[in-house]
Structure 1
Amino acid sequence: METEITHRPSYAHLVVSLEVEETILAEPGAMVSHTPSVSIETSSSRDGLLSSAKSMLGGESLFTNEFTAEREPGTITLAPPKPGDIREYTLDDGTLYAVDGAFLAAEPPIDIDSEFGGLKSMLAGASITPLALTGSGRVFLEAFGGIETVSLDHGESYIIDNENVVAWEGSVDFDARRVGDLKSTLLSGEGLVMEFTGPGNVWYQTRGLDSFVDTIASALPTSDDNDATIEF
């Protein structure tokens, strides 16, 4: 399987060239185009009912699409639903954690499950249930904006706003909390943050989708604006 990421970083687009009987898994809605030799099959979570229920709690789809080149080699193109970059990561019998909406595609040897974030993050109000991508093979992550990498040494920590986190390696410990007390949270415009402690790598996106949506919403005319009359 050969892959190429084009139109980076603002409108990244993943091109996957499949040999006969090769397959790639992708999030529903990610497909842009494919050659006639590529078949599509939609399947539920590969770990059964429990995993499906956990995936639903995590905000991810219960299904993945499997694209397979059957009679001859073929090509499938994939893209995120929002403008931004795509990052390739190779797992070697390890685990990568990805937040809701960050998973785009993976090679079939990768096992996709959902992990509960733990009591601390639930108490912090984060309700974090990241996807656990485990095994050996390539994973493709999507982001809103560009993707930055933070490499942490053993015991070194780094704090990232909750809506900017994309993924982190299984060797990295994490916790979630609110920024200060309620007053400082409201005045600062910041809410939840995640603190990561190495060793390992963490990835974050340079834009936050919720903040972007709020900005667009605030610029739209209200019903009062629409009802206003113009006098000459």
Structure 2
Amino acid sequence: MEFEIKGNPEFGEAVAQLESGDSFHAASGAMNWLRGPVSFKARLMGGLGKSLIRKVLGGTSMFVNEYKAIGPSQVAFSHMVAGTLVQMPITSEGMLIAGGSFTACTQGVNLRTRFGGFKAFFSGKGAFFIEASGSGEIFFGAYGAVVEKELDGELIVDNGHVLAWENTLDWSLKGAGGLKSTLFSGEGLVMRFSGRGRIWLQTRHLAGTAGWITPFLRA
């Protein structure tokens, strides 16, 4: 199984070249087109308890589609918004990915959901993360460009700009201001990272763009 990414950095799309028996998982809605004999079925990611996920699913889909080649075939997929598509091997320590950034992964990668806390859930930002472990390749997409940082110390990031990070980092999701501001304004929610490891950020914030467009829609 081989992958080729085209269209980066503005409109990244990956094309998977599959032989009989090859399979991979992609986020719900990520598939653009396919060619050849391919079967697919939806699966629910592990973690949190499946009943809980169904009740608090919100805007982040916890379903992934498994694509399996019955013969030589191709499947193209991309992230839901315009920007860079990143492909990288899972490190031995594992990674965490913002729920809305996960795009696809190969066989051998284990996916579990992680809850970001009720503060994130009620603010509507970053309620779920995806923990990826095992061996294989993972794909995640950015809104805008991707910035990779090698961290040795502390970093505070607006959580809307966080894409993924290595599991060697300690992290917490907190309000930068008071509780009222965090819960009701949608502002002031940040992620605090410390330790040593890599982190990937996106240069644009989808919620910020939506907020900028909204006044024009009301006009």
TM-score (norm 2): 0.86
**Residue aligning to 2:102:** 103
Asked if 1 retains the 8 angstrom alpha-carbon contact of 2:79 and 2:140, the reply is: no
Matches of 1:98 and 1:178, distance apart in 2: 20
Give the Cα separation in 1 of the matches to 2:218 and 2:28. Answer: 33
Match of 1:167 in 2: 164
Q: What residue is the counterpart of 2:61 in the other structure?
A: 61
1:73-112 pair list within 5 angstroms: 73-112=72-111
How far has the Cα of 1:180 moved from its partner? 3.9
Deviations 1:86-126 (A, max 9, x none): 1112114432111121110001211111123368x669967
What is aligned with 1:7? 7
> Which runs of no fewer than 5 residues in structure 1 stay unpaired?
223-232
Q: Which has the larger radius of gyration?
A: 1
Equivalent position of 1:29 in the other structure:
29
Change (3 A) 1:105 1:51: same
Task: Map 1:1-232; keep pairs closer than 5 Å.
Answer: 1-45=1-45, 47=46, 50-51=49-50, 53-54=52-53, 57=56, 59=58, 60-70=60-70, 72-117=71-116, 128-153=127-152, 156-181=153-178, 191-222=188-219
Separation in 2, partners of 1:113, 1:55:
15
Contact conserved, 1:54 with 1:115, CA < 8 A, in 2? no
With normalisation by structure 1, the TM-score equals 0.81
AA matched with 2:18 = L
Aligned partner of residue 211 in structure 1, secondary structure: helix
Identity fraction in percent: 32
Q: For the Cα contact (< 8 Å) 1:160–1:195, is it kept in 2?
A: yes
Structure number having the greater strand percentage: 2
Q: SS at the partner of 2:150?
A: strand
Q: Deviations over 1:206-228 (max 9, x none)?
A: 10000101111112243xxxxxx
Q: Residue type matched to 2:198 in 1? A: N
